[in-house]
Structure 1
Amino acid sequence: MKSIVAPYGRWEPATPARVASLFAALPCPWWIAGGYAIELAVGRRVRDHGDIDVMMLRRDQFHLHDALRGWECWAADPPGVLRPWEPAEVLPPTVHDIWCRPGPDEPWRVQVMLDEADGEEWVSRRDPAVRRPLAGIGAAGPDGIPYLAPEIQLFYKAKRPRRKDETDLLAVLPLLDEARRRWLSEALAHCFGSHPWRERLT
C-alpha cells in the first residue's frame, strides 16, 4: 500500500475489505464513500487513492468509538484544526470529518464523514433540501460491502471538481440509469444552478 504524506502525518488507507471487518458489528448503517465507492459501483480499479472515506450518520457518531476501540479518532475542526475526539464529546455540526488510526505512531487508516438524517431520510449537509430515503442511498457489492450510491457521491464531488473527480465521473457515468442521472442533474441545478456536469447527464 502506497504511503501518502499529509500535513498531520502519513496516510496508508485501509482496504474496503478491512473497513468492512472493522465496522461489521456496528448496529447502524455505514457506507464506503469517495473514490472507493465509485470503484465498488463499477466493479474495477479506477485510480490510486490517498485515503479511504466512510460515511456514517451524525446521530450514530458514538458507535464509531465502539467499532475502532483502542484507535485514535481526531476531529477535523474547521478552519483547519485536527484535534483529538474523546468518546464522550458530541461533535458540533461544523465537524464533518474524523481521521482514524490504530495508534499515535501509526499512519492514518480511515476517514469518517458525518452526514445528516431526518427520521428515515438522508439529508445532505450541503443543502437540507437535497434528500433521499435512507434505504435508497447505498448499495452492496458482490462481497457485501456497503457503498454510497454513485450519484450521491458525484453530487459531493461536484462542488469543486478535481482531476480525480472527473476520472470518477467518466468511470461511473455509463452505469447511471435515467433516474440516477435525473436525480443528480436536479440536485446540481438546485445547489449550483448551471454546472458543467449537467450537460453530460442528458
Structure 2
Amino acid sequence: MTSNNLGEWSPASASEMAEVFKRANFPWWIAGGSAIELFVGRELRTHGDLDVLVLRRDQTRAQECLSGWDLHIADPPGTGRLRAWGFGEMLEEPLHDIWCRRTPDAPWSVQLMLDDAVGDEWASRRDPRVRMPITRLSRVAADGTPYLAPEMQLFYKAKNTREKDEVDFGAVLPSLDQDQRAWLLDALKLTAPEHPWRQRLQ
C-alpha cells in the first residue's frame, strides 16, 4: 500500500478486475506493470496501483461496470487535482486518468486510463501517428484476463524511463517476436529516435 496527499493506495488484483468487467461488451485490458507480468508469467516487483485501459469511446460503459464505486478524474492531468466523475459524463481530451475506489472511505485501488481510437485502430494520445489494430492490442492470460500487448505497454514506458521500466523491458525483451520488435522500433523512431532501447531491440 502506498499513500500520498490524495489518499492511500491498495491495488486491486487483475483477477478482481476480471470479475468487475466480466459482463463487459467492449474491449478492456489490464495495463502497466501488471500487464508485463501477465506476459512474462511471473511477478517482477511490487506495484503501487493497478492500471486498466479502455477506449475513450467506451468510457460510459466502463463507468457502468464500476457502478457504485467512487470515481474521480485527474483534472487537469498531472496536477495532483481530482474531481468526481459524474455518471454519464463524457471525458474529452486531455482528460484520460480516473482514480477508482470501492467507497469514499476505501483506499484507491484502480487507475482507469482512457485511450483513443480511429476506426479499427488504437491511436496513441501522445502521437496519433503511432497506431495499432485494436485486435492486436489484446493478449489473454491463462485465466482469461485480457491484458495489453507487451510492445504497446513498453511504448508507454519508454517515455521518462524509470528503474522499474528498465526492469520490465529487460524481462520482456527476450520473448518479443520479430513483429513485436519491429512495431516498437517504428514507434520509437517516430517519438524518441535517440532512445537507448532501439539499439537493444535490433
Q: State the TM-score, normalized to the length of structure 1.
A: 0.97
Q: Secondary structure of the equivalent of 1:55?
A: strand
Q: Secondary structure of the equivalent of 2:106?
A: coil
Letter of the 1:151 partner, please give it.
E
Q: Partners of 2:116 and 2:92 in 1: how far apart?
A: 12
**Aligned-pair CA distance for 1:8:** 0.7
Match of 1:113?
A: 113
Residues 50-89 of structure 1: matches in 2 within 5 Å? 50-78=48-76, 79-80=78-79, 81-89=81-89
Structure 1: state its 5+ residue gaps: none
Match of 2:27?
A: 29
Range with greater deviation from structure 2 (49-58 or 71-80): 71-80
Q: Secondary structure of the equivalent of 1:38?
A: helix
Match of 1:140?
A: 140
**Aligned-pair CA distance for 1:27:** 1.2
Q: What is the alpha-carbon root mean square deviation over aligned residues? A: 0.9
Match of 2:124?
A: 124
Aligned length: 200
**Aligned-pair CA distance for 1:7:** 2.5
**Aligned-pair CA distance for 1:26:** 1.1
Q: Partners of 1:14 and 1:109 in 2: how far apart?
A: 5
Runs of 4+ deviating beyond 4 Å? none
Q: Deviations over 1:1-42 (max 9, x none)?
A: xx1112210000000000100011111000000000000000
Letter of the 2:67 partner, please give it.
R
Q: Deviations over 1:148-190 (max 9, x none)?
A: 0000000001010001100100111110011111110110010
Q: Partners of 1:174 and 1:37 in 2: how far apart?
A: 16
Residues 98-109 of structure 1: matches in 2 within 5 Å? 98-109=98-109
Q: State the TM-score, normalized to the length of structure 2.
A: 0.97
Q: Partners of 1:159 and 1:4 in 2: how far apart?
A: 23
Q: Partners of 1:88 and 1:116 in 2: how far apart?
A: 18
Residues 1:7 and 2:5 aligned together: yes
**Aligned-pair CA distance for 1:90:** 1.2
Match of 1:173?
A: 173
